[in-house]
């Protein structure tokens, strides 16, 4: 991995948070649509299971395309969008609870902002290392 690239897991997790934001916004936009079923993004449990299954494997770093490829990578874990058909809140068949969606949206936005701050700190450390090297 290049020194100027953010770690794969952090990038992947930010992409998942962005996808979750889009899904939650879609749920909110369809709160009054008859027979609409809410969607959600599943990633954290998939990642946890993947890491548990692959924790004994040694991750390799490659710097040339001819090197042996990584045995496992976080890139292998893909988020899944699921549609929740198991319950209906209203007589029109819609199962979106606007209060829950708004709380989930706020929680997701906060965690995205925290991840963005971590990325900013990483770049700040790199900037500091570069400018201190000039002195």
Of residues 104 and 88, which shows the higher confidence score?
104
- Distance in angstroms (rounded) separating the CA atoms of residues 13 and 116: 11
The winner for highest mean pLDDT among 20-29, 45-54, 122-131 is 20-29
Q: Is the pLDDT of residue 108 over 90?
A: yes
Q: What's the whole-number mean pLDDT along residues 103-132?
A: 90
User: Percentage of the chain with pLDDT > 70?
Assistant: 81
Residue 75 or 26, more confident = 26
d(CA 81, CA 39): 7
pLDDT at 118 over 80: yes
Tokens representing residue 76 in the block: 């292998």
| CA contacts within 13 A on the Cβ side of 5 | 7
- What is the model's pLDDT at position 113? 96
Q: pLDDT at position 3, please?
A: 43
3-state secondary structure the chain: CCCCCCCHHHHHHHHHHHHHHHHHHHHHHCCCCCCCCCEEEECHHHHHHHHHHHCCCCCCCCCCCCCCCCCCCHHHCCCEEEECCCCCCCCCCCCCCHHHHHHHHHHHHHHHHHHHHHHHHHHHHHHHHHHHHHC
């Amino acid at each position: 991995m290049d020194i100027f690239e953010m770690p794969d897991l952090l990038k992947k997790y930010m992409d998942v948070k962005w996808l979750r934001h889009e899904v939650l916004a879609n749920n909110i936009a369809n709160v009054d649509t008859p027979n609409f079923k809410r969607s959600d993004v599943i990633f954290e449990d998939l990642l946890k299971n993947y890491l548990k299954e692959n924790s004994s494997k040694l991750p390799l770093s490659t710097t040339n395309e001819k090197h042996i490829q990584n045995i496992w990578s976080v890139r292998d874990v893909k988020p899944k969008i699921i549609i929740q058909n198991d319950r209906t809140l209203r007589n029109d068949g819609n199962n979106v609870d606007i209060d829950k969606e708004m709380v989930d949206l706020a929680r997701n936005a906060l965690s995205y902002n925290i991840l963005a701050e971590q990325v900013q700190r990483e770049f700040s450390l790199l900037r500091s290392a570069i400018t201190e090297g000039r002195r």
